[in-house]
Each structure stands twice: as structure tokens, then as C-alpha cells.
Structure 1
Amino acid sequence: MELAMEMEQISMEMIKPLTPTLPHLKSYQFSLFDQLLSFSEYGSPLALFYASPRHCNNDESITNTVTRLKESLSKTLSQFYPLAGRLFSQDSTIICNDEGNPLVVARANCTLFSFLTAPNRVELVPRFIPRDDIYLDPTRIDVDGLIIAAFQITVFSCGGFVVGSNGNTKAVDGTTRAHFFMAWAANATSGDPQFGDPNLTNPTPIFPPVPSEYVTSSGIPPVLKPVEDGSSSCVVQAFVFSPASISALQAKARSDFVPNPTRVEAVTCFLWKHMMKAASTVVATIQSSSSSIARQERVPTTTSIIHSVNIRPHLRPMLPPTYFGKLVAHAIADSENKEGSTPTIRDLVVSLRQGLTKIRDNEWLNKFRGEGRLKAACEVKKTLEKFLPKSYYFTSLSGFDQVNFGSGAPLWIGFTGGRTNSFFRNYVPLIHTSDQIEAWPVLDEKEMEALLSDQEFLAVAIPSHVAPLTFLPKASL
């Protein structure tokens, strides 16, 4: 039975760093990777669901939990001070002015257990994430002075709670976000952060930026944004890949070229194969229709993927995971490597591995360090612009399952859900836990219908609302 959940907003305030940022740290310069090779400022939703802390079953205890999270957020923003500043993309800087970050506190009228067992829980996830209008002004056409991150704390009637976030993806990547949440949790519990304090050594000596006027004169905007095409709405769904299914996919993906496919490679290429199949089903339906209106609809031609990759461990010398910023490159893989044949998972994994190997190569990364860095960056940007309209964009999010705010690891991690516009069509986040991967593809509504009718796909990828949940017994929630 679907859950009719009601949400009440209790408060909204701006949380500022506990201690002011020192004057000589007021300007944080983007590196070349932030400056030219970032996709967009918009959209990094995440929601971490937690059981109630022990003995937290009354209003006073719930208030104490919220207070503890607020105070520790302020302390964490002092450590990660650029996040409390404002983004000036055209100038390739963050002004670390300590203006702070919006924090919404809300209350849900149900228990955490009733939410986690509801068949429509994926559709309800956006209720736990700060709305875009809290940190974005939709009337603005520029990208300057933007808030970088917004947060929301939602408490259930049982004392369980959700820590949600959303914000700007221009300045930080998934690695920095995971480190921020781990530090926040450590501050909230008086524990030691797993990786220690952030390394805020500016990355500009590694990938020196180019002057802003060079960015303008190159004819390529500093931000690459997906295009809202005005077509029918998209749908977000979540699919669970169990340890057994991941191992089976890895075995199926092995070849002489890639004898050791990773978990991410196997899951990515399985999804890629079946999303292309769903798109082809929609094309066939449109082509067979006699309706002129149907024939005018968008015909999917998605054949490629773009996969984000953390480059910290691939630099020489390598950088630690604590290194703040957005140090991400994009691997491109194309399925059209065998004309006239349907690619197998093996084929797709080979193509993906080739793309990953290229951008993990230190020689390739060094091209963005010297005098020819602007030319190299512009060439990559043009390639991304070429592939983005016909690509699925994958990103892999790990480490969030280790964030403990005092009541254990999150019982569930959500991205977003339900219907959305086509701005992030074909975006596919992969959320990792210790033993499984949950994929959250954003697809055209008709393509999602076709995917959900694909029995071969559903034999491996279990829709989240019917997958077994590994949370604590009902009495603990």
C-alpha cells in the first residue's frame, strides 16, 4: 500500500561557519579541471536515512538530535570553508565570505519503518532534499554568486531522521562531498573523521587555470550544461544489484581484452545495454505508429556513455581523497564498434575500459598542466559537447554508506525520484554500499516503461521498492 506522507517545514535558516575564514583564504581559485571541464552547476541531490539514536523517542530527544546536527554542521563548514562561500564561475573563483548555507528542518508524519517499507518510497525521496529554489534563483541567467550547497534535516515520528543535501556540482565532486559528510558526522558524534581534515591546498599549481578572458575567447562557455529539450517528462527509478548478481555480471563481462572487469564496469555496461534496448523499443513503436504526432516525437539515438572518474589516485604523485575540489575527468565509450550487430556486455566493457584507460594515464593528464593546457581542455570540451546529447552520463558515488551520525550507518541512501523534467535525461548515479550497488537512472518516461518491461533486465536489476531491505528490525525503528 502506497504511503501518503505529509511533511511540515519547521524552520529554515542560514548556517554559517563556526569560526570566520582567515583574510588570506578569502578567494579560492578553480583549477583548469574545475574551470573548463565541469559539466554543470546544478543537481547533486542525496538523502541519507538513519534509525533513531538510542532512547530518542520524544520531542526533547528529537530536538537535541537536530541541535547536534546544526552545531556540527557549523563546525564542519569552518573546516570546508569554500562551501560556505559563493561561486563566481565566470571569474573561476569561490569567494569564501562565510555567508553560509541554507538548512531546512522538517518533520514527516510517519515512522521511518513505514517509509522504508512503502512501495512508493523512491517517488517520495525528493521531499527529503532541499528544493532548488532554496539555493537557486530561477530568474537569473548568470552563474555568479551562487550558493554551493543546501541541507535539510527531516525527523520521523519515531525519532529516525534523514540528512538531505543538494547544490552546486561545479566546485566539488563526489569524493569531496563524501569527505564532507564524514567530517560532519565525526563532529556530530565527537569522533575522529575517517580521513582527517580536508586538504585545502589550492589545486591550481597542479592544473593551472587560464585567464578568464581566454575562456571567453575560446568560444566555449565555462560551464557545460545539459539542454532542456522541452519533450515529455522523465522518470527516476532505483534498481538494486546484489553481490551475487554483480559477480554474475562480472563473469559475463570477462574477455581476453578485459579479464578482470570491475563491479562498476559490469553494472554500468549491463545498464547501458538494456537502456539502449529500451530506447530502440521506443523508436520501433514510433516508427510503426500511423500517428503523425507520434512520428514527430523525439527519436532516441543514445549509443554512448560518459563516465566520471576521480583522477586523484591516477596523478603522479597521487593526491589523497582529502584533497578538496572537483578533480574529475570524463571517460567516453561508444557502442557503435560493430556495425550491424548488437553489442554484448563484453563488447561494451571493452569500449568502456579503453575510455577509462585513456583518462587514467598520467601522460594524458599532464597535457592539462603545461602551455598547451587551454588547447587540450578545449578539445576535450568540444568532444564532450559532441557526445553529451547522445550519451548516458554515469557517476559513481561511494563512501556515503560509512557516514555515521550516531545511530549507525545509513539504512538507505536515496538520490531523487518520481517525475522530473528532461534537464538531466540519461543521468545514471550508481550509489555504493559495502556489498551492493543501487542505480538511479533518469530516463524518458516511455524508455523507463520499456526498461521495466524487459524481463531479462529485471532478472538481474531488482526495483528498489521490491528488493529486500537490510535495515534493523521494526522494533529498532
Structure 2
Amino acid sequence: MMKVQVTSREIIKPSSPTPHHLRRFKITLLDQLIPRMYVPMLLFYSSKDGCNIETVERTQQLKKSLSETLTGYYPLAGRIREDSSIVECNDEGVDFSEARVDGRLSEFLEQPYVEVLDQMVPCNYHFAKSGLDVLLAVQVNLFNCGGMAIGVCIFHKVADGTTIATFINRWASQSHGTSDTTGPDFQSSTFFPTEGPEPLFAFVTKENVVTKRFVFDASKIAALRDRPSIDSQVGRPTRVEALTALIWRCIMRTSGEEGSVRASLAVHAVNLRGRMSPPLPDHSFGNIIFIATSVVTEKECLEDMQCYLERKLRDAIRAVNSNSIKELQKPDGISRALAAISSEVGKYVDCGIDYCYFSSWCRFPLYEVDFGWGKPAWVSIATLLLKNLVILNRTRCGDGIEAWVNMEDVHMAKFEQDQELLSFVSSPLKTG
């Protein structure tokens, strides 16, 4: 297994100071729903023949362009206190580390151990411990061959996946010298203002969570989508609907007794930007997401379980529309929506209920991120300590999907042996 050794660490600050009138950034009520965790992401770049940019120059280019990008994304260079809804945009800066990887990138991509991925994200960030923690950390990992992996951790409480992808692309454009003048839009707090203390919402965390990747190529996904259904009204599911339903019911089987399935709640993150009226631009900053929830019980899954779950997921996601978003924007709208979910979940507590969390990154332009030396050879995540959390991301060719499954180790041992799951998997991630 390859070794990763951090060789330097420094603080990168915005290239220009944040104006006094922008020094206090108020997070939204939607931000408050997010746990105090970091989202780890890795972008891998091969060493290209004929590339005349030396490693030292590339690292300096990354630092300079990051500093310039932070001027527009100034909240990321600030700090947020544990009991506060205000980001103090004080330009304290972000962490920037450099590390050496003892090996070649091509060898690593053949067998990318999760344990090594975790070392490539800065300081193994998982959860914020105090208001002194940075909101953004970067680690540049240099392979012996000249290949590079850029690890990014962003504090989820101030940025959702769309914001993260937009920020990284803007940073890359700045590095590449093709940055446009469109900056982030910070108006989301006017649509979802905070109402007081953070709403309570259960996110199950476990220290013994493990992460594994399961790859589904285009042919396997097509076979899953085209399987016969007893419900002709459902129609052909999308790739994400079909794959989410498959993984969901496989997770359900890991926690149930032999031959039975417990009640289960699937929580799917939904981007609200394009669903609002009028829609918000993609560069709107913050967590502009809400959850689509579906609850199923053992009795409801006796016939075509795949089809049933696909329909439940589709109905739940479609229910997050402009009308329901307007309801969320009313006073106590989000609190009432969460109360309704809690009430529904409460019906199944006596018989046992599990939680599964899904988020699709398939539409994020992560494979377009070019810092000046080409597009990524691979985009991955690292371990996220949330039980039964599944991140879906497209493969480099765009036709397949990688499912990153975070699960308790005892349940993962059962999940990765599920024969139905394996019949659709092209390649599970080897972990030694």
C-alpha cells in the first residue's frame, strides 16, 4: 500500500481583503439543517507528455489562483462559531498542504485503496470540533511519476455539492487564466432566513463506518432499467432512480433478519435551484437543497420491490417542486415539513426503522475541472462517517456510475456479498 507523507502546510488568504460591509455572512435555515461535517473530494491528474509546467510551478499556480478565487468566495476564508449562524469573514484563510505519494499514479488507479484516499484529503477532516476550524482545506498530493491528486475538504454547513463543484471549477478557471467575471450569488439567505436555534434532525454517525466503491457500467445500468415490471404505469426509471432503488433494498437486507426486511426511510438530497420560481442560478452559494423522503415497510415490498421503490423515489423527488418550496419559505415552513417527516417515521418505530441517505453528483461538472494541465483522470471521495450514506458519481466516460457506500463494517460485510447487487456491479473497490 502506498505511503502519503505531508511535507508542508501553510495558510492561503484571499488576494484582496474582504470589505468591511461584507464581514458578516449569515447562513440560511437550510444551512442549519446540515451536520457539522466536511465533504472530502479528490481530483486525480496524470502527468502529460510535453507538459512544460514543472511540479513546483503547478503548486505555486494553485496557491496563487486559490488566493484570487477566495476573494470572490470570501466566506470560505472565514470562521463560523459553533453556536452561531454567522460566518465571520475575517480572511483568516484556508489550509493548504503538500504531500508526497510513494508510487505512480497509474499503479494507484488500478487499485485505489480507501485507506490511501483518506490520507490524501487534508488532515483527515471529518467533523468540525470548534469555531476555530477552517471552512476549506486543500492538499496537493504529488506522485513519483509527476501525477497529482488535489484533495479538497469543504465544510458542508456553508456549501452543498453544487456550490463545491462551482467553486472548484472557478478556481480551475482562475488557474487556467480563463476565469469569467461571474461571481457567486449570496442571496440565498433572503429566501430561507434563519428562524432561531438550529432545527433538530437526526444524522446517524458511527466511528466504525467503512467506505467502499461499487462501479456500474452503462450496460449493467441499462439492464437494471430495462428489467420487466408488473407496473406499466411507472415507466422506464432514470439511471439514478434505478440504481438508488437497487442499493436501497440491498441495504435494507443487511439489517433485517434472514428472509425479512425492516421498515426503511430513504432520504434523497434535492437541489432546489432549478425547481424554484423563478429559478436560482447554479452559482448561488450555500446549501440550497432539501430532502425527498420515502418510507417503505416489509409488507409493501412483497411483489416487485425494485419497481415499487423506484416509484416511491420518483414520487418523493417530484413532490419537491415550486409549490412545495414556497411552503418551505413560509414562516415555520421547514419546521413543519420536518415535523411531518418525524410524524411519518414515528409510525414505524415500534417495528424498527433504518435510515439511508442518498446524494447524486452525476450532474456536477467535476470531470471538466482543468487547472491548466488537462481534465481529471479520476474523481473520487474519501470516507464519510455517516452510516448508510451513498454518494453516486458518474464515471469518467460519463455512461457509468460509481456508488460510494458508507456503512457500518458489520453490515458492509453482508452488503458486499449480496448476490443481486453483485450481478449488476462491474467492479467493487479493492481494500486489501
Instruction: Report if TM-score (shorter chain) is over 0.5.
Output: yes
Which residue in 1 is equivalent to 2:44? 49
1:183 corresponds to 2:141 = no
- 2:309 pairs with one of 348, 352, 359: 348
Q: 2 CA distance for matches of 1:333 and 1:401?
A: 31
**Cα distance, 1:313 vs structure 2:** 0.5
**Cα distance, 1:276 vs structure 2:** 1.7
Cα deviation 1:270-306 (Å, max 9, x = unaligned): 11122222333xx439x9xxxxxxxxxxxx9462210
Asked whether the equivalents of residues 102 and 151 of structure 1 are also in contact (C-alpha less than 8 Å), the reply is yes
Which residue in 2 is equivalent to 1:201? 186
Which residue in 1 is equivalent to 2:325? 365
Query: 1:168/1:224 Cα in 2 relative to 1: closer, same or farther (>3 Å)?
Result: farther
Which residue in 2 is equivalent to 1:28? 25
Structure 1 residue runs of 5 or longer lacking an equivalent are 216-220, 288-299, 467-477
Query: 1:224/1:340 Cα in 2 relative to 1: closer, same or farther (>3 Å)?
Result: closer
* Helix, strand or coil at the partner of 1:74: helix
- 1:284 pairs with one of 258, 261, 279: 258
Query: 1:248/1:378 Cα in 2 relative to 1: closer, same or farther (>3 Å)?
Result: closer
**Cα distance, 1:430 vs structure 2:** 0.8
Which residue in 2 is equivalent to 1:236? 211
**Cα distance, 1:249 vs structure 2:** 1.9
Which residue in 2 is equivalent to 1:471? none
Cα deviation 1:34-71 (Å, max 9, x = unaligned): 23xx23121311111111244459xx811111111111
1:322 corresponds to 2:283 = yes
Asked whether the equivalents of residues 43 and 376 of structure 2 are also in contact (C-alpha less than 8 Å), the reply is yes
Q: 2 CA distance for matches of 1:18 and 1:257?
A: 56
1:121 corresponds to 2:87 = no
Map 1:418-429 → 2, pairs under 5 A: 423-429=385-391
Map 1:304-315 → 2, pairs under 5 A: 304-315=265-276
1:435 corresponds to 2:411 = no
- 2:138 pairs with one of 137, 151, 161: 151
Q: 2 CA distance for matches of 1:94 and 1:223?
A: 20
* Helix, strand or coil at the partner of 1:209: coil
**Cα distance, 1:227 vs structure 2:** 3.9
**Cα distance, 1:330 vs structure 2:** 0.5
* Helix, strand or coil at the partner of 2:424: coil
Which residue in 2 is equivalent to 1:5? 2
**Cα distance, 1:404 vs structure 2:** 1.4
Q: 1 CA distance for matches of 2:126 and 2:272?
A: 32
**Cα distance, 1:256 vs structure 2:** 3.5
Which residue in 1 is equivalent to 2:34? 39
Query: 1:303/1:343 Cα in 2 relative to 1: closer, same or farther (>3 Å)?
Result: farther
Map 1:166-181 → 2, pairs under 5 A: 166-181=153-168
Which residue in 2 is equivalent to 1:81? 74
**Cα distance, 1:190 vs structure 2:** 0.9
Cα deviation 1:192-246 (Å, max 9, x = unaligned): 46xx633323212222322x3xx2xxxxx4464534457xx23211011111222
CA RMSD of aligned residues (A): 2.8
Asked whether the equivalents of residues 53 and 406 of structure 1 are also in contact (C-alpha less than 8 Å), the reply is no
Q: 2 CA distance for matches of 1:400 and 1:384?
A: 36
Q: Bigger shift: 88-97 or 265-274?
A: 88-97
Structure 2 residue runs of 5 or longer lacking an equivalent are none
Q: 2 CA distance for matches of 1:74 and 1:189?
A: 14
